[in-house]
Amino acid sequence: AQSVAQPEDQVNVAEGNPLTVKCTYSVSGNPYLFWYVQYPNRGLQFLLKYITGDNLVKGSYGFEAEFNKSQTSFHLKKPSALVSDSALYFCAVRASGSARQLTFGSGTQLTVLP
């Protein structure tokens, strides 16, 4: 079985401060890991992915994520938060080489305070 945990339902951060949205996963074999962002009443937008290679992945809008195999984590980070980053963030996982579909976390609501 594969699963994703986003331990924080809500994260608040001041504008200009660094932000972190946490994600841990469980999967058999090597993982494919993804982050998506969702604005109210909209579809999900792809931010970044880890398939293989460098553990630090850079994505859209200045976001990055660090893959940590020993801690089975894939936390989303941004050095300086913007008010416009306020949205719902989803982490997702799939085992490489598996026919199984993506499993999503329950989401973390990020609020950036001006």
Partner 1 sequence: DGGITQSPKYLFRKEGQNVTLSCEQNLNHDAMYWYRQDPGQGLRLIYYSQIVNDFQKGDIAEGYSVSREKKESFPLTVTSAQKNPTAFYLCASSINTGELFFGEGSRLTVL
> Footprint of partner 1 on this chain (CB under 8 A)?
9, 32, 34, 36, 41-46, 49, 51, 90, 92, 94, 101-102, 104-107
- Residue 84: is it exposed, middle or buried by C-beta count within 10 angstroms (0-12/13-18/19+)? exposed
Specify the residue, 52 or 70, whose C-beta has the smaller distance to partner 1.
52
Specify the residue, 15 or 49, whose C-beta has the smaller distance to partner 1.
49
User: In the bound complex, what is the minimum distance in angstroms from residue 107's beta carbon to partner 1?
Assistant: 6
- Which residues lie across from 45 on neighbouring strands? 37
Residues 77 and 18: their CA atoms lie apart, in Å, by 7
Specify the residue, 97 or 114, whose C-beta has the smaller distance to partner 1.
97
User: In the bound complex, what is the minimum distance in angstroms from residue 102's beta carbon to partner 1?
Assistant: 6
Specify the residue, 42 or 58, whose C-beta has the smaller distance to partner 1.
42
Contact 22, 33 (CB under 8 A): no
Residues 7 and 95: their CA atoms lie apart, in Å, by 21
User: In the bound complex, what is the minimum distance in angstroms from residue 21's beta carbon to partner 1?
Assistant: 14
Amino acid (1-letter code) at residue 70: S
User: In the bound complex, what is the minimum distance in angstroms from residue 43's beta carbon to partner 1?
Assistant: 4
DSSP 102: P
